[in-house]
Amino acid sequence: MTIQEFGLLVISIITSSFGQFFLKLGALQLGQVTAANALGHIVNIATTPALVAGLTAYGLGAISYILLLTRVKLSVAAPSASLIYLVSVLIGVFFFQESLSIGRLIGIGLIMGGVVLVTTR
């Protein structure tokens, strides 16, 4: 993977992770969806700034990922993009005070190990 390809991967991971962060933040602002408030929540998605920011970040992540796919094999890009899971778990732990169990740590380690195996030739 060249430096330009790695840069596209990093941009994709960062923007998609910001998307995760803002979508969670916006979801917390909306509150829990029930049958009684589902329609209102759907309408509020378009007017909640954090959700709009999250969707925008996801869009930018998708664009950079598409650009990456024009340069590298899918069998390398897709596993590499799974690093979004690592960043999302860290966001959950540090920003939303979610717990990090041994099982999650092992799972993240396996993901990272898999990325290393897939991206090395």
Q: What is the pLDDT of residues 18-62, one digit of tens each?
A: 999 999 999 999 889 888 898 988 888 889 999 999 999 999 999
Radius of gyration of the chain (CA): 17
- Buried (b) or exposed (e) across 62-71, using 16+ Cβ within 10 A? eebbeebbee
Residue range of the domain that includes 105: 3-119
One DSSP character per residue, 24-80 reads: HHHHHHH----TTTHHHHHHHHTT-HHHHHHHHHHHHHHHHHHHHHTTS-HHHHHHH
Q: What is the pTM of this model?
A: 0.83
CA distance 106 to 114: 12
Q: Which residue has the higher pLDDT, 15 or 75?
A: 15
Q: What is the pLDDT of residues 62-116, one digit of tens each?
A: 999 999 999 999 988 888 888 898 899 999 999 999 999 999 899 889 988 888 8
What is the total count of domains within the chain? 1
